[in-house]
Amino acid sequence: MRDGAGSASLAKNEQPHAARAFLAGWGSGSRLRVTAVPIGAALIAAALLAVFESDFYRSQNLHVLMQQCSVLGIVTLGQLLVLLVGGIDLSVGAVMNATLIIIAVMNRHHTQLATSIVLSLCLGVGVGLVNGLLVSLRDVPPFAATLGMLACIQGAILVYTKGVPAGNIPRELRPVALDGVGIVPYSLIICLAIALVLWFALRRGTYGRKIYAVGRSPEVARRVAISTTSVRVSAYVMCGLFAAMAGIILSAYVGYVDPTIGGNYNLQSIAAAVVGGVAFTGGEGSVVGALTGVVFLLALLNVVTLSSLNPFMQLIIQGAVMLVAVSVFQFLKKSPAN
């Protein structure tokens, strides 16, 4: 009896140690190998573009590409957090649309830039909070929860605007996307600053360990007293906040009102994250990989434009790139070296 009780007690005591060992190895081995793939692919693509598409490296084209990268980059960083905890957010495009409408309507007659920006950020946080609570507390599948939120927000936009663009993007906001340091727009600097803070939080902070732990194994995370609910909710809140920030920059970039302009960012943010090595199953991916995926995807779409190909080819390219990326990363994770 004593031996049996002692064995049970020993096994019980070993569980927390195994869980902590699991957390300690969250950033090694296969994760670094997977992250290296999109970086290597981007470097190869850059070399090929220099040879076969010299117009790609014109300063004007690079400036436009950087403006696009800043918007998609911020959205993808939010999508990264949600994917890391095993979720997905299909409402980011709708949040961006709503942000643009809020800014345009509130600045129609009088400039209320600061108020409209604060309200837009609050909207993003609120949408993310609702998404997170639905997924974490009500056990609604992330796909269903965020798709429903997408329908609600987009429907509300169309009801309010009656499908007719109205309002004005204030001139004071335009320099955020159009001006910069040399050919580097301020919006890209903002994106890189956000990425640096997020990289530090994920790689050096306890929050990052919690994010990866919840994504890789919620049960193990609970054993070491990590609140999976709070971590998941925080990921969705940050995703909503980043989507609102991207919407603000997008409105500064385009300078006109379009209640559906953010729709493409749902697929593009997911595709860029997956191309950058972020796993749909959670617990796998990095800030560097996600941003590399953004550059790689937008560079491909930019080449389609420069080559005067059918613009509808862009959707085919996004789908094909995502399928290839998922296949490659699944192969890498199942290889004997991992």
Contact residues for 290 (Cβ-Cβ < 8 A; gap 6+):
76, 77, 79, 80, 272, 273, 276, 277, 278
What value does the mean pLDDT take over residues 321-331? 76
CA distances from 112 to 103, 106, 118 (A): 8, 6, 10
pLDDT confidence bin for 198, thresholds 50/70/90? very high
Q: Which two tokens stand for residue 219?
A: 């049960």
Give the integer Cα–Cα distance in Å for 129 and 71.
Answer: 22
What are the structure tokens assigned to 263, written together? 């729709």
For residue 303, pLDDT over 90 is answered with no
DSSP 3-state percent helix, strand, coil across the chain (nearest 5): 80, 0, 20
Q: Which two tokens stand for residue 175?
A: 């320099």
pLDDT tens-digit profile of 24-71?
444 444 555 556 666 777 777 777 777 777 778 888 889 999 999 999
H or E stretch covering 184? strand 184-185
The letter for the amino acid at 144 is A
Q: Are 119 and 106 in contact (CB under 8 A)?
A: yes
pTM above 0.75, yes or no: yes
Give pLDDT tens digits for 108-166.
Answer: 888 889 999 999 999 999 999 999 999 999 889 999 999 999 999 999 999 988 877 77
Residue 176 neighbours by CB under 8 Å, 6+ apart: 185, 186, 187, 190, 248, 249, 252
Q: Quick check: 13 pLDDT over 70?
A: no
What pLDDT was estimated at residue 32? Answer: 55
Going along the chain from its start, the domains and CATH numbers come out as 30-334 (1.10.3470)
Do the beta carbons of residue 90 and residue 148 sit within 8 Å? no
Res 94 pLDDT > 80:
yes
